[in-house]
Amino acid sequence: MSGNEAPKRPKLILAGNGMAGVGTLEQILKLTGAYDITVYGAEPHPNYNRIQLSYVLEGSKTFDEIVLNDRDWYREHGIRLHTGTKVTRIDTESKKVITETGDAESYDKLIIATGSKPFFLPVPGHDKNGVIGFRDIADCETMIAASRTKKKAAVIGGGLLGLEAAKGLVQLGMETTVVHLFESLMERQLDEVSAGMLKAELERQGIQFAMGKKTVELTGGAEVEGLRFEDGTELPADLVVMAAGIVPNTDVAKASGIDCRRGIVVDDYMRTSAPDVYAVGECCEHRGVCYGLVAPLFEQGGVLAHEIAGLDPAPYMGSSVATKLKISGVDVFSGGVYAETAEHRVLRNHDDWRGTYKKVLLKDGRIVGAVLYGDVTDSSVLTRLVRDQAVMTDELYGQLFGRGGCCSEGKASIGVEAMADDEIVCGCNGVAKGTIVQGIREQGWSTVEQIKVCTGATRSCGGCKPMVEQLLQLTLGDSYDGTAAAKAGICGCTSLSRDEIVASIQEMGLASVREVMNVLGWSQPEGCSKCRPAINYYLGMLRPLEHRDEKDSRFVNERLHANIQKDSTFSVIPRMYGGVTSPEELRKIADIADKYAVKMVKVTGGQRLDLLGVKKEDLPSIWADLGMPSGYGYAKALRTVKTCVGSRFCRFGTQDSIAMGIDLERRFERLWMPAKFKMAVNGCPRNCAESGIKDLGIIGNDGGWEVFVGGNGGIKLRAGDSLCKVKTDEELVLICSGFIQYYRETANYGERTSEWVERIGLETIRQAIVEDKDNCAALAARVEQALAALHDPWQEAVENGELRRQLYEPVQAGATNE
């Protein structure tokens, strides 16, 4: 390998281009950029939403509208996509996949996500022309074409797939009959009452039913002409759709000697019996269970993504069987036990006028199952209650059924406002209420579309859309108009945007927080906890030499140089440059922990030591005794520079990551930023310091350094984007300086780099920093000016008694205490 060549990344191959596999890839990309990824898909299409095939069949959506990841998405993420190419065998010894054309490709890690196949009844005639399954877009196209010339359709199977296929065929103008072995539809999810209501509704929609019928033969010549049943009766049909179930597609695993039972056997980390081979989705079997619903597949994908990224995930323990479905326009929910026996106590509400039904089953006073039909508002709450087997109480009964017990009117609300923050709104993508509410409040999400793009909620089946809309209404109140958010200022004190405020400060020569609020006409003369820190930051960023930091516009953590905890004690984090310490430093920290009765000493994710449980009155003394700079664990500034041991010790290291990490941390410490800022430096592409999920991540290789930006390892996981590669340490420092200053000058206050990069675009950043070298040099000069003007507020506070004064003197009016 030449010195200018980037080292090869480990190769990850995905066999299967469906929702489970690509959903896993999406999560991997948020966690790490370490892999060179190739995807093989048997279909000639990019990844699409199979849940919405029925909409394509009935004509309410086009195929393009159900595509989840178009071909541009693969290109943008550097993924090689081979459509119309099936992997038929895996050589687990040499670690290669072999395709149906005989091509072979090596892998370091392999994910099998081949999904499932429709189950064809093994009856005579099942292979006739006109007999098809309902599993992919090709099946939809076949049915649409058939409807132009054929008149009578039979759908074998009264489950979800069969009913959706039947509804689509009716919409296409075909006379359609659902043939079902049992006397009740969806017998694995619904009881007789709810199944009867569903059947009556579907009959009103034009679907016919042949219940309790066992098909023994498909009649006709080369073309199918009808079905013959066990009782001797027949049903004419020139199109037969097999929707009697699905079977895991284990073909490639079986051909490769990988352990299979009903599905590909996986452990709690989605590992198969073959080394470095994983399976996810409908093709796999976990603890004896194969799942055919979307939500468990995304839960599996989350565990697998963390496993692939080397992030030590919690094991996959299986998924709840609760399901919320929309069948031909009718909402249905089923969770836990649905059919009562003598050991159950049954609570039910059946309203024929409104077409709603609710049943809750108790065992020994605990909620063990529920069925909802027509109105599934309480489905999220019931999912939790069934999962926890909650004890039924009078209060809970009143919430679920109303105090009178005969109808739900007037019942205490258990809608979205009563949901806990950790309750799941979108089961398909695992999005919790708290994530959506936080995004609405902190990121300014104001439409369902924004929430879909940022979280994935509503993206798959769409069943959670009403709840997402309710959360928007609940959180935004009267300002929510159901379309788009009106123009809003940085807070409720002003209608001015960030850019308008910054421009006014520059043009008018405004010099203080109070002056800005006064001149620009703040509605609240003292401002608020959102705008005061923002203005203070903008002033310091624009006028580093003139502006004196206004402490009453800082949060309490920043004023006291420690993080306040839930018990009102504080967390003290001394800085350890690059995560490196010494025996002397460790002894000092241990002695101080004893002296001040520290409750816990915790190693942080940023490779430092956190002293937890420090009393407020001890803060000045503990900082003085430590004699170490603050790690700024509380600040909108550089928090940490995480490093691996690099070329100094590691046999894989190609660059001195420790030296570079310490240099960067010492260079940029104490520099205020729009939001907290984390860095990492790796000595090789193995990425032990997790550079791919940092605001600014650096990975060493034989030819120099690669710079990644905009990563985030927090609530909104995001893989960093590759900004550029440089050959020398000097070039690296210049790029880092330019990036940091460009972020400081253009980001909104409180906006992490992950959000900023998405908002202004990677190409804009690359143009300003990498391609325009003069501009980068000017940015670096401005950051140096800001650094030169810095005084150390932590050191000043300790040495001149400022910290002690801040502990005991009243906070000035308008100061920020959050």
Question: Would you say 439 and 451 are in contact if contact means Cβ atoms under 8 Å apart?
Answer: yes
Structure letter (DSSP) for residue 615 = -
What SS3 string covers 642-657? Answer: EECCHHHCCCCCCCCH
pLDDT at residue 753 tops 90: yes
pLDDT at 752: 93
Structure letter (DSSP) for residue 545 = T
407 in a known ligand binding site:
no
Percent of the chain with pLDDT over 70: 90
Report the CATH architecture of 424-479: Orthogonal Bundle (1.10)
What is the rounded distance in angstroms from the CA atom of residue 251 to the CA atom of residue 283? 9
Question: Would you say 113 and 18 are in contact if contact means Cβ atoms under 8 Å apart?
Answer: yes
pLDDT, tens digit, 9 for 90 and up, residues 790-815: 765 555 555 555 555 555 443 333 33
pLDDT at residue 756 tops 70: yes
pLDDT at 327: 66
Q: Which position has the higher pLDDT, 534 or 482?
A: 534
* Helix, strand, or coil (residue 248): strand
pLDDT at residue 484 tops 70: no
pLDDT at 21: 96
Give every CB contact of residue 59 below 8 A, 6+ residues apart in sequence: 171, 172
Which residues belong to CATH 3.50.50.60 in the chain? 11-117+248-308, 131-244
pLDDT at 440: 87
For helices 657-668 and 729-746, angle between their N-to-C axes, nearest 10 degrees: 40
Give every CB contact of residue 378 below 8 A, 6+ residues apart in sequence: 358, 372, 400, 414, 415
Q: What tokens were used for 456?
A: 């994935």
Top CATH class of 131-244 equals alpha beta
What is the rounded distance in angstroms from the CA atom of residue 459 to the CA atom of residue 482? 18
List phi, psi (to 5°) of 611. -95, 110
Q: Which of 10-24, 345-359, 453-467 has the lowest mean pLDDT?
A: 453-467
List phi, psi (to 5°) of 8. -70, 135
> What average pLDDT score do residues 298-322 get?
89
pLDDT at 410: 40
Question: Would you say 664 and 734 are in contact if contact means Cβ atoms under 8 Å apart?
Answer: no
pLDDT at residue 218 tops 60: yes
Top CATH class of 636-791 equals alpha beta
Give every CB contact of residue 794 below 8 A, 6+ residues apart in sequence: 561, 623, 629, 630, 632, 670
Percent of the chain with pLDDT over 90: 56
List phi, psi (to 5°) of 733. -60, -40
pLDDT at 798: 54
pLDDT at residue 171 tops 90: no
pLDDT at residue 3 tops 60: no
The number of residues in the chain equals 818
Ordered alpha helix ranges (H), 172-291:
192-204, 251-255
pLDDT, tens digit, 9 for 90 and up, residues 678-728: 999 999 988 899 999 999 999 998 889 999 999 998 767 899 999 999 999
Q: What is the largest CA-CA distance in the chain?
A: 99
Residue 387, CA distances (Å) to 87, 370, 390, 399, 673 in order:
38, 11, 8, 18, 44
pLDDT at residue 195 tops 50: yes
pLDDT, tens digit, 9 for 90 and up, residues 377-408: 788 788 878 888 889 998 888 888 874 443 44
pLDDT at 273: 97
The structure tokens 């081949």 sit at 114
pTM of the model: 0.57
> What average pLDDT score do residues 737-755 get?
94
What is the rounded distance in angstroms from the CA atom of residue 166 to the CA atom of residue 670? 65
pLDDT at residue 817 tops 60: no
140 in a known ligand binding site:
no
> What average pLDDT score do residues 15-27 get?
94
Confidence of residue 486 (pLDDT cuts 50, 70, 90): very low
pLDDT, tens digit, 9 for 90 and up, residues 347-378: 999 988 888 999 999 999 999 999 999 888 78
pLDDT at residue 488 tops 70: no
Which residues belong to CATH 3.30.390.30 in the chain? 323-414
pLDDT at 329: 67
- Helix %, strand %, coil % of the chain (to 5): 35, 25, 40
Report the CATH architecture of 11-117+248-308: 3-Layer(bba) Sandwich (3.50)
Give the chain's mean pLDDT: 87
Across 374-521, the runs of DSSP E, i.e. the strands, are 424-426, 431-432
> What average pLDDT score do residues 737-761 get?
93
What is the rounded distance in angstroms from the CA atom of residue 318 to the CA atom of residue 322? 12
* Helix, strand, or coil (residue 323): strand
Structure letter (DSSP) for residue 35 = -
pLDDT at 799: 53
Which residues belong to CATH 3.30.413.10 in the chain? 636-791
Report the half-sphere exposure of 69 (CA within 13 A, side-chain side).
21
Pick the CATH number of 323-414 from 3.90.1150.10, 3.30.460.80, 3.40.640.10, 3.30.390.30: 3.30.390.30
Q: Which of 237-251, 438-452, 804-818 has the lowest mean pLDDT?
A: 804-818
What SS3 string covers 664-705? Answer: HHHHHCCCECCCCEEEEEECCCCCCCCHHHCCEEEEEECCEE
pLDDT, tens digit, 9 for 90 and up, residues 545-572: 888 888 777 776 787 788 877 777 889 9
pLDDT at residue 411 tops 70: no
pLDDT at 569: 87
pLDDT, tens digit, 9 for 90 and up, residues 311-358: 988 999 988 767 766 666 678 889 888 888 999 999 999 988 888 999
pLDDT at 464: 75
pLDDT, tens digit, 9 for 90 and up, residues 621-670: 898 899 888 888 888 999 999 999 999 899 888 999 999 999 999 999 98
pLDDT at 407: 40
Question: Would you say 244 and 121 are in contact if contact means Cβ atoms under 8 Å apart?
Answer: yes
pLDDT at residue 187 tops 70: yes
Structure letter (DSSP) for residue 770 = I
Which residues belong to CATH 1.10.10.1100 in the chain? 424-479
